Structure 1
């Protein structure tokens, strides 16, 4: 406060103190997983301030600006690399963030072999300071008597029990890593499978194989072909069952594959699915609504389907069949230009051509025929005229001469 004397009078001047501010704390340490924190700001009334992050892994979540006392909230992202340091500037003051490196682990050795008598040994663990880990035995004959957890570098001691049976393998999970223990056995493992051969029709199917082995004797099952799938029993110990499935055979040739179980081979033979189509792969239709049918011949057990690929062609029956079957379908009336659609029947494409509305097109083959004047046989001479017309287009044949007889003169389509 100060004053001036003006014309014998006193004039008083009052001035606020300069704005000052402080923060607490001024730094914070974080683990590699990151986290959140806050910083308190102390400032005079009416004194404004701002908070900004100077590092990409530090985010200000609240209190980016204020007036007087306040709090700045922030978060620190997880660290997947080396140790790092960043800062924030709050009310003109520097706040430091220190973050540890991401935890990484290694073990040595990664495997060890034991005789039937068993024994004890240890596994070294290498880890960063503050990086915690655990050790868990995954086999009842491997025990960890002392160190089951730790932080930073350490050693896991373990004991392997004597083995009076077949060779065996077990594991210990240490810091998320797998340590393998192999132990010799007294009994030699032998395996048998039943059956050793399996036969299937061309249709899909399933089968099973019985595995006989001594307790403790491990085995695995694998397929040599993609059309044979192991559905259960891909591995086991002692006796067990392997279940498998066989896809439908559409190759139209017999095929063979194998399933291998503990070096034993099961031969799988599958017949082909044959489909016979005693009809043309396309058909012409008149413009009006027409129904028709097709018969597909196949072996018993071979499945097939019929699907329309266009909305104006409808499958009325026979959309799903096993063995020989008939597909009944309908072609809707056409009120527009000529059109073409398809059906997929037993994996084959059947084309439907439908003419535009109007007179039906007809074609005669041949259009004329010549005969000798003298018939040297005691029988009348017969011949045929082929009529090509869309299905649904009806026609008749009439003789215009008394010495020409029509034997069959009415039909629809060809």
Structure 2
């Protein structure tokens, strides 16, 4: 009985001890279980680019101690990781550069606060404009820009190939940025289109063509007009234009046949002396400017229209009158007995022409026509009259003959005595000819006569020019020059002086020399 009671006491004691110990443990666990924390938000939804996020938590008691940590290296907690009671923490989440979403934990005591972060979305790019129209002169201010907006600051993109006439710098850029490009002048007559590859997209540039307008497109000139203006207008200072003249009587001032940009040109025409209206075209790029010029022909008059000269040598002249000072004229005659200086055989405008007669030793009158363009001078030179017959020596003057015997006497007036004859002049030359080469040359000869005897030197060919005085009294010297003989045949001309003839013989060109001169 005693033994049973002892055993029961021991069992009771042990049970009590165990119950007591359990009560102590229960009290401690109960105390620990009383500290709880309620986070807000309970789950952090972070963006793919990361950032800072605030977590507020409420403790179940003001004496509740807490400790915070991060279970993942891409989540950072503050340096102050411990505290008591209700609190606030700020965690930093790094950007998710991977291609998959991820989940991390912030540990508050033994409680997890989950952090969810999605993967980075694909980069997208938007161009501020996808096309641009540029004037023919190119980009204003030397360059232009196009803005690229990236979906993320870390997105990288590149500037790729461009049409050759679009200038840009290829390369890589990050985030949103601008791309510069420059375009030169389009000097062609056609619109052109080019592209630039930017961030995988196409930026299109359209440049207008050079335009060139000409005004007016028709010019009318009177016969004496000299010039009129034409205005070239382009839409760019670099637009090129060229001029093509189709008639030799039209000139452009300034004389350049091409140019650029807007400017005035002067179209000049020569006087129209053709007698008919004439026209031509001046082409500026593809525009035709019609040029029409009325006729204003030259008219010619001579005075006197006829000349009658004695048989003796001598000189005279006539005047040439034109309606314009630029009207050209030439003097033409086929008579070898009329001399005209070579420098008087052609000219322009009003002038006087001197002609020189050689002595007419024939008794016959001779005549010719001198032509001055459309006008004519009729020239006549009288022939020499025969010398009067002289009375035979010892003859009877019929005007003083007596009436026969038995007839009444008739009083007769004595015959008039002839005046004494003027002293006769004789002339001779120091030489009568000279041979010269084919080139320009000069020569001279002397005239011999009495001191009171007059004489004149007249050349019968235009290539012989009297270089000294063409007339004189008494002894003298005649100097002359001859022009180059450009023909292959020799030629002969004369200088007449008071009935004497001086012959000039000039050689012709050799064939080799003639060919060289042509080249």
* TM-score by shorter chain over 0.5: no
Larger gyration radius, structure 1 or structure 2: 2
What TM-score results when the alignment is normalised by the length of structure 2?
Answer: 0.29
What TM-score results when the alignment is normalised by the length of structure 1?
Answer: 0.35
More relative contact order in 1 or in 2 (CA 8 Å, sep 6+)?
1
The structure with more strand, counted as a fraction of residues = 1
